[in-house]
Amino acid sequence: MRRRTFLAATAAGLALPAVSRGQDKKVLRFVPQANLANLDPIWTTLYVVRNASALFFDTLYGVDSQLRPQPQMCEGSEVSSDGLTWNFKLRTGLKWHDGEPVRASDCVASLQRWMVRDNMGQMLRARLDEIAAVDDRSFRLRLKQPFSKLLYALGKVGTPCAFMMPERMAKTDPYKQIGEYVGSGPFRFKRDEWVPGSQAVFERFDGYSPRAEPADWLAGGKRVAFDRVEWRVIPDAATAAAALQSGEVDWWETPIPDLVPILRRNSGIALDIADPLGNIGDCRFNHLYPPFNDVRVRRAALMAANQADYMQAVVGNDQNLWQESASFFTPGTALYSEYGGDVLKQKNVEAAKKLVAEAGHQGAKVVMIVGTDVPIVKAQSDVTADLLTKIGLNVDYVATDWGTVGARRASKEPVAKGGWNVFHTWHAGVDCVNPGAQPAYYTTGERAWFGWPKSDEVQGRIDAWFAATDQAGEKSAVRELNKAEMDFATFLPTGFFKGYQAWRKGVSGIVRAPFPVVWGVTKA
């Protein structure tokens, strides 16, 4: 309560210099969820990087708000009757920000790089017989077996998105970051104005030709009203709230629940749910090293967890914003299942403590890396630190920033050499409606997402979803997959939650989506 009182007083009373009041209708000033520490949307799965990349990169297809893939950079595609040969044709007038035309060879190289790092891309790659440019505007994919989810994979919102890059950039090792930032989207990235930890700037690209259809998430005509979009990195929530109220910024992506009542009382501020599909919290275990290489310890964490504790820490007591969910999937969606989720309903600390002791890990050191500048991460981490201590583990709480977490979590080294045991993140609900686009579900060992879980049982259930040809088959596969993920304790789902976004009422056109949609937004 003391923290909430302090934040509210600070947000209400802090006076900021009147150097920039957001009066220029051609400039949108935006406070992102976290610092933009890198800008390679294939190398990393950080949402903040995806969000920035969507401003200046583009995709061949784009998923709309009904989760349907629509042609974007492509005019369309043709597929053979046996489902093995796909022909794609680029629409006319596509240009890179350096003035060069977009060519099919660029797209081929971009897809080859993306397929190495993305899980749906890896599934495509495993079925791939050939990918080749036919001419400057056309390329062909020939498969060894049908892949019915192909267009969804090319247009999905989930990270890594299949963003297109010039061939010279796309030939960068997928495990190394790109060294330049040339896209073909509605904005160009101003590298000369990028100050990590402070700001990132995107400038309108006059050579961009939007599609004729209305914009809808990643699909349709991305018509922009701004000459510049300025990202202002403001880690302190009270300072961000004050900047929004004073008019120094126009739009805040993730206002924390503590400050929502203050913002509601300001007649110049609008608030709405940011994403209708919400989010699923994730306590991520490192499966390579003790103690979480032991399934008994992972299951103990699930057995002891109380999702209400997590959700109240993340979004407060407003139950319109959260719910408990014994599932890895998004509540309210077609494939949702809680089958096998009883372990998450136990909330039995003593039984969990006994299981840790029986496994021989009582008192084991657990290094938890915490991005304290991201409230969702910090709140979950505080709950987990208490939980793991109660079940007999010795928590080393390493407080750092989210950019550092993003880099350190990629390390497979032991803790003594800079590795880790656990970290927190969250997954957008749009990524969790099925297993295809969610890398956190995959259990392919060394090729898996951070934590590197290995389970043939879980992966077999994912393969069954890919093989399903109708919704009934997909639903059956997801039901069995939820049980397999729970039994294996791939990670600890901490609950389902939604969040607000806030903006000044002079700004219009902001929509609910899994990422901040700038096209269609205007400012009076």
Domain layout of the chain by residue ranges:
2-14+21-36+185-275+504-523, 61-170, 279-497
Compute the distance between CA of residue 495 and CA of residue 282 in angstroms, rounded to an integer.
Answer: 8
Question: Three-class SS of residue 362?
Answer: coil
Q: Which amino acid is at 71?
A: P
Closest residue by Cα to residue 155 from 226, 224, 77 = 77
Compute the distance between CA of residue 458 and CA of residue 101 in angstroms, rounded to an integer.
Answer: 43
With beta carbons less than 8 A apart as the criterion, state whether 515 and 54 touch: yes
Verify cis geometry, omega within 30 degrees of 0, for the bond prior to 276.
no
* Ranges of residues in the chain whose predicted pLDDT is under 70: 1-23
Ramachandran class of 395: left when φ > 0, alpha when ψ lies in -120 to 50, beta otherwise: beta
Closest residue by Cα to residue 335 from 253, 255, 434 = 434
What is residue 496's predicted lDDT score, i.e. its pLDDT? 98
What is residue 437's predicted lDDT score, i.e. its pLDDT? 84
Tokens standing for residue 112: 């080859």
Tokens standing for residue 377: 């991460």
Closest residue by Cα to residue 259 from 275, 247, 276, 243 = 243
Tokens standing for residue 139: 């390329």
What is residue 319's predicted lDDT score, i.e. its pLDDT? 84
**End-to-end Cα distance, the chain:** 38
Closest residue by Cα to residue 493 from 276, 350, 336, 258 = 336
Enumerate the H helices of 30-172 as residue ranges: 47-56, 104-117, 119-127, 150-155, 167-170
Compute the distance between CA of residue 187 and CA of residue 58 in angstroms, rounded to an integer.
Answer: 10
In 262-321, beta strands by DSSP E: 269-273, 279-285
Other C-beta atoms within 10 Å of 84: how many?
Answer: 16
Question: Three-class SS of residue 522?
Answer: strand
What is residue 398's predicted lDDT score, i.e. its pLDDT? 98
Helix H or strand E segment including 314: helix 307-315
Entry pTM? 0.87
Dihedral, 408, 414, 416, 420 alpha carbons, nearest 10: 40
Q: What is the pLDDT of residues 264-308, one digit of tens each?
A: 999 999 999 999 999 999 999 999 999 999 999 999 999 999 999
Nearest-5° angle of CA 73, CA 145, CA 78?
Answer: 35
Number of H helices, E strands in the chain: 15, 21
CATH number assigned to the domain with residue range 61-170, chosen from the 4 options 3.40.1010.10, 1.10.10.10, 3.90.76.10, 3.10.20.90 = 3.90.76.10
Max Cα-Cα span within the chain: 66
Compute the distance between CA of residue 282 and CA of residue 280 in angstroms, rounded to an integer.
Answer: 7
The string of DSSP codes covering 421-466 is SEEEEEEEGGGGSSSTT-GGG--BGGGSSTT--B-HHHHHHHHHHH
Compute the distance between CA of residue 450 and CA of residue 166 in angstroms, rounded to an integer.
Answer: 28
CATH number assigned to the domain with residue range 279-497, chosen from the 4 options 3.90.400.10, 3.50.50.60, 3.10.105.10, 3.90.1150.10 = 3.10.105.10
Compute the distance between CA of residue 43 and CA of residue 153 in angstroms, rounded to an integer.
Answer: 17
With beta carbons less than 8 A apart as the criterion, state whether 216 and 178 touch: no
What is residue 318's predicted lDDT score, i.e. its pLDDT? 86
Q: What is the pLDDT of residues 189-244, one digit of tens each?
A: 999 999 999 999 999 999 999 999 999 999 999 999 999 999 999 999 999 999 99
Compute the distance between CA of residue 74 and CA of residue 92 in angstroms, rounded to an integer.
Answer: 9
> Beta strand 228-232 with 251-252: parallel, antiparallel or unpaired?
unpaired
Compute the distance between CA of residue 56 and CA of residue 147 in angstroms, rounded to an integer.
Answer: 29
Identical topology for domains 2-14+21-36+185-275+504-523 and 279-497: no
Nearest-5° angle of CA 140, CA 143, CA 146?
Answer: 120
Compute the distance between CA of residue 273 and CA of residue 199 in angstroms, rounded to an integer.
Answer: 25
2-14+21-36+185-275+504-523: CATH topology is D-Maltodextrin-Binding Protein; domain 2 (3.40.190)
Q: Which residue in the block uniquely carries the two structure tokens 């989010």?
A: 279
